[in-house]
A and B are shown apart, each in its own frame.
Chain A
């Protein structure tokens, strides 16, 4: 019981501590590819600390939804964090939710952020909410099919079980459907973390911003909470990719092994971050109405993953 509480607490601390770092590292790598020096990898910590100390300016039009939304979204994302294996594959909370629950907890966070953005009466907020929900609608079917492909391949939707099984299978786990589902989920990860070519996290141009448009009216403490929440979500999405598709090296129990497990985990997410940074540097943001093409590719890939699994294994 005590050990399990310890595992959970450590997990929360690791998530809170690593999320801004990952953001900083991705920015640094991006700067490297763009032949810039770039800010320090610790800049996101400074930014959040700075925002937490600032006064908030709140629109006079808003209701309680605007005030509550950052905390609710943050809580939803962090709750999802308890279900995703990070440094240990046997999560104490794995009974409380599976991969499907993670998907829907992210949806809960998005739901409240979108509502809050409509609350200020600004057209930017509405624009952001409308686009965000549009993209989410395209992501969801592809996401669910890849969830199905993974679940059927491993034999469960339980994330701890998925991690353990693939980790134990070793290199044998690599199969066409495994790879297809990975690519499908990677495309979804781009959309879920709001990165180029879907959304540009660094933009404040009316025509292109999506997530930034939603949180345009936030400032001070609330903005800090939202920014932290977004960073955590990014870390969690990367962790999902890492510990579902290549969980090798993850520790299965609590012990000295977790140090190695943590180092391996760091390498994995930095690698994924580097991939993301490379992709962001080499492509431009797509027009909003070209996104259905991108996400249809993801849908098709996950469908192929499912079909190939059924043909190879299920017959």
Chain B
């Protein structure tokens, strides 16, 4: 019963947030406070609800029931896990938004932002709690449309409108496939209830199950951003306000992961081997290509958007390994892979929301997204810098923070593939380990670039010289998630058993031994363990060693401040600094076959060829997927539409004639006894 109150409290709080934004929309400050504070209160309800389900029992709440459809909510441990994920991110981001909304005071309608923000979050919560396919599709569509409106919040900019268009097209292609997938499931099970799907889905004919799998993979893959369906992310995430991009990238794309797990493990049962292998290949490609394209970006939000593609790939590597194990009958190993995937899901939600908020703070203070114009911001925004650094270390999978734990789990899950019987599959899974290692190394390179170029050294433009730290609420939001990055990293032995219990109903078993003595121990090959807590402690102890050594041997010595050495000429301007483009040059050359970089240098001379007047330099990498996959398809659609336009004369008489002809054909069809 208490669950019901919590759920109602949650929904009402979001609705109050939405309503009060509309009512107060003339008063910017008040409106922002009302909208975002009620969202954070709602998120607290969400956290309590999800925790009580994770540690308690499955909860169902029926609104209306009929023989055909039961409208209501269904919260099992998996849903609760995703409610928790959403609520944690929403809590931090909402508090951050109270300050961040000032960016739009007087320029944009805050009421509109607050309204959409609350409804958007509510729709995400409903997506992960919907109990039948019809309700799911309604709230899924609501989520997509509301997020579209949030993406085009700054619609006066043409590039934002273009981003919104790409997003809405891609998301609807996805929805189309999802509908197909659900229709097949419904025809197979005779009901639209998710519960019926999960009890009868596994018994469907194999060909139908294959179709459901493929359509769900395409449909939800488009939302998650799996390569090659990822093209909307680098447009939509930068276009949206930063607090919204934090939620879109941190949690919205996770709703697709939720449904992928739901369909693959719950609805379809054990599945067949090639499903897992296909997902594994796509996941590895997403991880690698995502990080590769991220490296080439110097728009900080586009860079982060490509990292979402990468991390979705990493999450799906864990999940696909789990699928491979399930289909081969190794349920305990499958639980392990799923835990790795789920752990990375929560980690990515935390550090990606954090990083997007950090990027938002940069934009708030400098009004630019271009890293080449930033620099030296660590001294001007010390806290934002510190939080961004924590996020960077996490996403680069460096110990002792959270990214490392989930990647370690993923590596161990890949090693377990030695138990499989097919040698080719073994080699494929193990090779994806190399892909994952390359991914994390490139991610580290990318975040050395992102942090180093924007926060360190000298300011690169006038705009950032006067940058100041943002409001306290923004720092609080980022601080919360930074702390969570450390907690999730250092104390994994508290969280893995919980994930174990979440994965259990999906794969049918739990891992017997996951923790001992404050470390994470898994039964991988032998009994592997890491203890990030001990690593963290030892790091701390050893941090003091250099200072002790220096004092003991050298005593106190003076420190002098002087120019940076620049071959005799002091480095006093930012013109001497390395740029983001230059930083990624070696990798651009190494992977030139993928990037296909091209550059254009235009020089105008002042009379003599010895004196250059102007030099413009333009370097780009080729967007392969857009050029070779989407442009031909879009071209085809346009040319087919042109042909079809012939029948659209614009004259009402013609249209009446069409209706008449159609009627006659239908009559003829019925009379002749068809159908």
Contacts and interface: CB of A to CB of B under 8 A. Distances in A.
Interface of A: 48-49, 51-61, 63-65, 70-72, 74-76, 78-79, 82, 93, 95-98, 100-101, 104-105, 107-108, 110-111, 114-115, 118-123, 125-127, 129-131, 133-134, 136-145, 148, 151-152, 155-158, 161, 216-217, 220-221, 224-225, 228, 288-289, 292, 299, 303, 306-307, 310-311, 314-315
A52 B393 contact: no
B445 interface: yes
Given A137-B445, A221-B550, A101 B565 contact: no
Contacts of A71: 543, 546-547
B562 A59 contact: yes
A289 B591 CA distance: 11
Contacts of A144: 411, 433-434, 436-437
A225 B576 contact: no
- Counting chain B CB atoms within 10 Å of each CB, the highest count among A104, A148, A157, A158 belongs to A104
B419 to A, nearest CB: 9
A63 B379 contact: yes
A136 B577 contact: no
Interface in B99-156: none
Contacts of B404: 101, 104
B539 A129 contact: no
B444 A310 contact: no
Given A52-B549, A221-B554, 11 more contacts: A54-B554, A63-B378, A79-B539, A96-B530, A111-B398, A125-B578, A129-B583, A137-B442, A145-B431, A148-B414, A152-B415
Interface string B391-410: 00100111100001000100
8 contacts: A49-B554, A96-B530, A105-B535, A111-B448, A119-B457, A148-B414, A217-B565, A228-B549
Given A96-B531, A105-B535, A120 B564 contact: yes
B566 interface: yes
Interface of B: 376, 378-379, 385, 389, 393, 396-399, 404, 408, 411-412, 414-415, 418, 423, 426-427, 430-431, 433-438, 440-442, 444-445, 447-449, 451-453, 455-458, 517, 519, 521, 524-531, 534-535, 538-540, 542-543, 545-547, 549-550, 553-555, 557-566, 571, 574, 576-579, 582-587, 589-590
Contacts of B397: 104
Contact of B538 (A59, A82, A155): A82
Given A58-B561, A79-B539, A96-B534, A130 B586 contact: yes
- Counting chain A CB atoms within 10 Å of each CB, the highest count among B426, B519, B574 belongs to B426
Nearest to A75: B542
Contacts of B531: 95-97
B569 to A, nearest CB: 11
A268 B625 CA distance: 51
A141 B584 contact: no
A71 B589 CA distance: 33
Nearest to B419: A314
Contacts of A65: 378, 389, 456
Nearest to B456: A119
A12 B380 CA distance: 39
Contacts of B379: 63
Contacts of B526: 155-156, 158, 161
A18 to B, nearest CB: 16
A105 B542 CA distance: 13
Contacts of A54: 554, 557
Nearest to A63: B378
A140 B440 contact: yes
Contact of A306 (B427, B449, B565): B427
Contacts of B550: 52, 221, 224-225
- Counting chain A CB atoms within 10 Å of each CB, the highest count among B435, B561, B582 belongs to B561
A58 B399 contact: no
B576 A122 contact: yes
Contacts of A288: 586
B558 A61 contact: no
B519 A118 contact: no
Nearest to A292: B590
Contact of A98 (B393, B528, B539, B555): B528
Contacts of A289: 586, 589-590
Contacts of B449: 133
B272 to A, nearest CB: 22
Contacts of B574: 121
Given A71-B546, A136-B444, A157-B412, A121 B458 contact: yes
Nearest to A59: B564
B535 to A, nearest CB: 6
Contacts of A72: 539, 543
Contact of B452 (A119, A221, A311): A119
Contact of B393 (A58, A111, A292): A111
B549 A225 contact: yes
Contact of A141 (B437, B457, B530): B437
Contacts of B527: 156
Given A93-B534, A123-B578, A133-B445, A157 B525 contact: yes
Counting from the closest, the 6 A-B pairs by CB-CB distance are: A126-B578, A52-B554, A144-B437, A118-B452, A140-B441, A133-B445
Contacts of B583: 126, 129-130
B441 A130 contact: no
Contacts of B447: 111
Contacts of A221: 550, 554, 557
A129 B452 contact: yes
A141 B434 contact: yes
A299 B411 CA distance: 17
A74 B415 contact: no
B633 to A, nearest CB: 33
A82 B537 CA distance: 12
Contacts of B538: 75, 78-79, 82, 93, 96
Contacts of A157: 412, 415, 524-525, 528
A130 B577 CA distance: 12
B547 to A, nearest CB: 7
A127 B583 CA distance: 7
A165 to B, nearest CB: 9
Contacts of A51: 554
A136 to B, nearest CB: 5
B562 to A, nearest CB: 5
B380 to A, nearest CB: 10
A130 B389 CA distance: 18
Given A61-B564, A79-B538, A118-B456, A311 B590 contact: no
Contacts of A97: 399, 530-531, 534-535
- Counting chain B CB atoms within 10 Å of each CB, the highest count among A110, A118, A288, A310 belongs to A118
A259 to B, nearest CB: 26
B440 A105 contact: no
Contacts of B455: 63
Nearest to B436: A144
A288 B535 CA distance: 34
A53 to B, nearest CB: 4
B398 A104 contact: yes
A118 B566 CA distance: 14
Nearest to B588: A134
B561 A60 contact: yes
B398 A152 contact: no
Nearest to B534: A96
Contact of B396 (A82, A111, A119, A122): A111
A123 B527 CA distance: 47
B581 to A, nearest CB: 10
Contacts of B535: 79, 96-97, 101, 105
Contacts of A118: 448, 452-453, 456-457, 578
B416 to A, nearest CB: 10
Nearest to B426: A310
B387 to A, nearest CB: 14
A311 B399 contact: no
A76 B423 CA distance: 37
Contacts of A125: 578
